[in-house]
Every structure is written in C-alpha cells, then in structure tokens.
Copies of this chain bind each other. A is one copy, B any other.
Amino acid sequence: MSVTENLLEYNRGYAERFAQGGRPAEPARGVAVVTCMDARVHPESLLGLELGDAHVLRNAGGRVTDDVLRSLIISAHVLGTREYLVIHHTRCGMLGATNDALRARVAAATGADASGIDFLPFDDMDDSVRDDVQLIRASPHLPADATVSGYVYDVDTGALSAVSGRNRE
C-alpha cells in the first residue's frame, strides 16, 4: 500500500468522527500565517489554531513570493484578515543552500535545464524573516492597517522567537 493510500484510509476514519461542518470561510481569528512546508512545522499545533481560525500559507522556506502576496490579498480583501505572521525555522533546507548547487542537483537528477529557477535560498534566518515581513508591509495591495510580524521557530524546542528591527538598508 502506498503512503497516499494510507493517508486516504486515515481520512475515512477522520470523516466518520468529523463534527465541525458549517463553518464560514472567513478565519475566525482574522489572522494569516506564512511559513515553511517543512514536515517538522505543524502551524496549527504550535500556535494553538482551531479549525476555522486562520489562513495558513506554506512554501519552501516560508518565503513571501508573488504567489504568497496573491494569497494574502485574497485573505485580506475577500476574507477579512488583518494580522500576518511570517515564520521561518531553524535547520531549514533553504538555509545556506545556493541557487547554483540546487540547479546543478536538479539538472543532474532529471536532465532538464534548471538554470531559470530561483529557489530563494538564504544565508541568515533573521534577515530572511525581515526581508519577507518587509515585502508584506510594502505591498500596495494589502490594507494599510494590517500588522505584520516575523519569527523564527526552533524545530528542536518548539519555541518561537520574535525577529525585531527594521529590514536591512
């Protein structure tokens, strides 16, 4: 049995126990979280989010890309969120990686040219959080009264640390 089949099997039991239907699309707590796809990060668990509470956006690194901005704009203007958290984490696969090394690895594995892909690696976690917080703050398409804050999550202790200060000049 594939892992996919195991997950579907699990879901059949989940649906039998499920009793939380009928909720609105608008997040009850008015918040959206941008974080990494990393398997060691369970955003709902580490923030205490119940079903229906918050939007959660995830990609490699928890980077604020055009796709994340697209999603946050919908989150804000269609579904009413006003508080945004950016959370990167320790021991991230994107920390210390380089585009050259990643492109070579993908090309070697697939034979396909990967030279056009920016994988958005970073060298300093606090800087990557500040950069991404700033990208949200600078968007002309998000509400002026929104609050944006940034954090590093420690995958070994379960703790969030605030990243303070302004973006690099």
Contacts and interface: CB of A to CB of B under 8 A. Distances in A.
Interface of A: 2-4, 7-8, 10-12, 14-15, 17-18, 20-23, 25-32, 37-40, 42, 44-49, 51-60, 65-68, 70-71, 73-75, 77-79, 83, 85, 91-94, 97, 102, 105-106, 109-112, 114, 117-120, 140-144, 147, 149, 154-160, 162
A42 B47 contact: no
Oligomeric state, in copies: 2
A3 B80 CA distance: 14
Given A37-B75, A40-B25, A59-B67, A47 B141 contact: no
A20 to B, nearest CB: 7
Contacts of A159: 11-12, 15, 18
A105 to B, nearest CB: 5
Contacts of A65: 67
A120 B169 CA distance: 34
